[in-house]
Amino acid sequence: MAEFRYKRRVEFAETDLAGIVHFSMIFRYMEEAEHAMWREAGLSIADRDSDLSWPRVSSACEFRNPLFFEDEFEVWVRLAAARTRALDYEFTIVRGETVIAVGTMTSVCVRKNPEGRMRATEVPERILTRLRAPQS
């Protein structure tokens, strides 16, 4: 499936006292890139007119090199698998030629009822079609 690239710069508030990006930010970068990929596909992961939601059920990351304040980097995100009720993503975070981190994330498609309870449901074909299309 198509790979989407999301460009970003490290902000000061994302670093620790040593000037290195705090590890928890890597997961935020992964999520930001996922949301940007959805927008690029003409979708929203939090569509106000939909009762669908996408809670994460798994996320993992292998840290390889640090990022520092004002570093420019990219998050490459790829829809690795689209299962009946879940989407599996793969991420690579790079600064130039240097791999910063690699990660994965799984989101389950759920339908929310009026009381706020969620039940897993099939990923709509219209969403899969858009996410599978080549990204710019």
Question: What's the domain count of the chain?
Answer: 1
First to last CA, the chain: 13
Q: What is the CATH number of the domain that holds 18?
A: 3.10.129.10
State which residues form the domain around 44. Answer: 3-132
Query: Residues of the chain with pLDDT > 90: what percent?
Result: 88
Cross-strand bridge partners of residue 46: none
What's the token pair of residue 37? 């990929």
Amino acid in the structure at residue 27: F
How far is residue 13's CA from residue 30's CA, in Å, rounded to a whole number?
17
Query: Residues of the chain with pLDDT > 70: what percent?
Result: 97
* Concatenated DSSP letters of 7-36: EEE--GGGB-TTSBBPHHHHHHHHHHHHHH
38-47: pLDDT as tens digits: 999 999 999 9
CB 66 within 8 A of CB 23: no
54-95: pLDDT as tens digits: 999 999 999 999 999 999 999 999 999 999 999 999 999 999
